Amino acid sequence: MKRTAGKTKRVLAVLMFTVMTVTCLSACAGGEAEIRPPWHPSDIQKPVQESEPAAVTQTPENAPAGSTAADPAPVQTPEKTEAPEDGQAPEEPDADSAGANPDPAGIQGIARLGDLVGKYTMWLFETQKGQYIFVDTEDSHNPYDLTWRYGPDTNRLKEVESPGWDALYRSYVDACDWSLVFDVEYYKKAFPMLAKLYHDNDALLLEHFQTQGVHEGRQASANFNVSAYMANCDGVLVDAFGENYECYYFYYMLNQNTQKSVSTKNSDSAYPRWLTLELSMQQSDEYKGVNNYRERAKAAPIEIDPEIVALANYRAWTDAEYNLYAHDWIADPANDKEIYDILRNLSCDRLGENTVKWYSTDNKNGRDMFVVSYARSKDHYDAMVSTSYCYFGCSNPYWSDNPDNPFAEDGGTGYVCQFDLFAASQPHIPYELG
């Protein structure tokens, strides 16, 4: 494991806990050629104001030039085409035709959102392998998780690197009536570990859904399930949007005149509550790394789960926020009720966790992938490749510079920790959901 500049102290631990007992095992280990300018759906409700700050909190210090530029001016869009009386989506001009300017609320306009990807770690990780974006527990906006920003999928839109793409996405967020697809109390019940991670903060949970949950196809209301909508809407939408799930939410909200009659309820839980996960680069690499080690050990691949991911982030936040060492939080009997509530809410009888922590005097430094560190310790390696575990979640690294850190050396206050969690069975939410 690489050392940071200045002294560091790193502890890795494996914890197995059951409903009846809690046992801790610890070990040390160390230009110019734009395709088309972005547009705003200004004829739907309102354009984004130039003075509105971007909803981004964890932006790398050395982000690409121009990343904080003001939003681009909206371009003129054609008047809305009236929908046919049969309620089907209207035909639209070919968006790739010369001079075509699609209706922002139409199929082609919304389909372009599918070319945007969450990029809060993409640029930095691709250009400086080994560096990480950290969740800052002192962040005044969102101290619980990373905040997503959106830019072009560079595999398809290599020549477009305008900061206006994120403004475009936010303009769609502003244009929609989210009550059509989002009920915060339902979201909390459907994803209790996510609610726990966000400390039941309604505004941040809505922001999570708007910028991440819709991309994952999460159900956030008893009245709207995106899989049900995909099964019952006009096939032309599926042809246009494919598996870009966010497009379905935006189209449904912005076209109620034709879409409100489409069946969107998840009757008898016939459809899944989520479809995929939007992971940070380091989470994605951690997940792949764990399965690489499992393959070498002849163990079946482990499946990632959104609730275990949220719980892993909550564990990292807790230790970073309170300067806890190793598994002090788990070992404290005062937390037993919360621990048992977590297991009950997941319908799990046990969880295992690997954790790494380090202390730095010179801010947030690069280091090995966490999975590589875990593989160096027998206890942690055994947990990682155990055939008893089938489901997985990993946190982002969490950073705290709280000056009362009791373990910092030589006056350093930087504290970082990360968690990998393992479950024997898939979390099952014990709530009645529509």
Question: What is the maximum alpha-carbon separation in the chain?
Answer: 74
Calpha distance 342→382 (Å, rounded): 24
Calpha distance 340→343 (Å, rounded): 5
Contact between residue 372 and residue 356 where contact means Cβ atoms under 8 Å apart:
no
Q: Per-residue pLDDT tens for 353-409?
A: 999 887 664 555 555 678 999 999 999 999 999 999 999 999 999 888 766 655 555
pTM: 0.77
Calpha distance 412→246 (Å, rounded): 43
| Stretch (H or E) spanning 289 | helix 281-296
Flag residues of the chain having pLDDT under 50: 1-87, 90, 93-99, 123-126, 129, 158-161, 361
Alpha-helix runs per DSSP H in 115-163: 122-127
Which string of b and e fits 362-371 if b means at least 16 CB within 10 Å? eebbebebbb
pLDDT at 154: 64
pLDDT at 328: 87
Contact between residue 158 and residue 126 where contact means Cβ atoms under 8 Å apart:
no
